[in-house]
Amino acid sequence: MVKRRAVSKADKELQPDRLPMLYKTLVPLTAERQSGTYLSPERDYAFANMVNAIPVTTDEFAPAMRNYPIVLAGGDVPTPVALVGFETGRNDHVDADGHWAKGAYIPAYLRRYPFAYVRESNTSDRNILCADLSSVIFDTKGAPDRALFEEDGQPGTLLKNVMDFCNRYDIATQRTRLAMEEAIKFDLIEDSTVTVSRGEKTLKVDGFRVISEEKLRALPDDVLAGLARRGVLNIYAAHHLSLTNFSSFGSAL
């Protein structure tokens, strides 16, 4: 069972209306409120042990394709996700101690947790660094170099690294959305199903979408050339290659 820290009523009052997947709270981090808060050196992924699909950006397709099928999920503009488990509600890559499978790529979405940038308001361009304070990564004691804030109230080195990572992740997310919008523009996305077999057992996996190789080949040469120059075809190729990982799902049957 995943353990979480208690969150005060004041922190809960700061929550946005909609929280990203896996986040139980999102509280703005300030030196005044989080002075004396430290980051544990231990990384635990037990918080993700009950999800079998993790969002990934197109920047991650190349490393993620080695371990997971990458498919498209969601609404009008789909989100690429890495399938990390065969069954809904089960992550096959997290063990009982919260360790990620050795040698397997860990999606940036999980490495960013419990932090995230949140837009200050619908009319503001300012982002505020927030965190899920229920995460067990936070502690009230630790080495000085693991403090969120320095004694003068400035972000500590670890928190500066977190801010940089979250910023780069958000930029990658924006690029990913543009890539999906372009795929929609050229009508490249289609529904798909996969039948996974092992011995006498079979299971049909559906409810996801992919970039159609057939539709991609049918694009005009000038459009294909533009996609190739911008590296988009490499992204599509990584996506298509990742689908061969469905064969490894048979071991879970």
For the chain, percent of residues with pLDDT exceeding 90: 75
Residue 148 exposed, middle or buried by CB count within 10 Å (0-12, 13-18, 19+): buried
Is the pLDDT confidence value at 1 over 50? no
Alpha-carbon span 131 to 24, nearest angstrom: 10
pLDDT of residue 18: 77
Whole-model pTM? 0.89
pLDDT of residue 152: 93
For the chain, percent of residues with pLDDT exceeding 70: 89
Q: What is the mean pLDDT of the chain?
A: 89
- Beta strands 70-73 and 79-83: pairing type? antiparallel
pLDDT of residue 125: 76
pLDDT of residue 45: 96
Give me the helix-helix angle, 221-229 and 232-242, nearest 10°. Answer: 90
> Do residues 145 and 156 make contact, with C-beta atoms less than 8 angstroms apart?
yes
pLDDT of residue 114: 97
pLDDT of residue 126: 83
Nearest to 249 by CA among 190, 193, 194, 192: 194
Q: What is the mean pLDDT of residues 131-136?
A: 94
Span 86-126, pLDDT tens digits = 888 999 999 999 999 999 999 999 999 999 999 876 666 78
Alpha helices in the chain (DSSP H): 9-12, 31-34, 61-64, 108-112, 157-185, 213-217, 221-229, 232-242
How many CA atoms lie less than 13 Å away from 216 in the CB half-sphere? 20
Span 28-53, pLDDT tens digits = 999 999 999 999 998 999 999 999 99
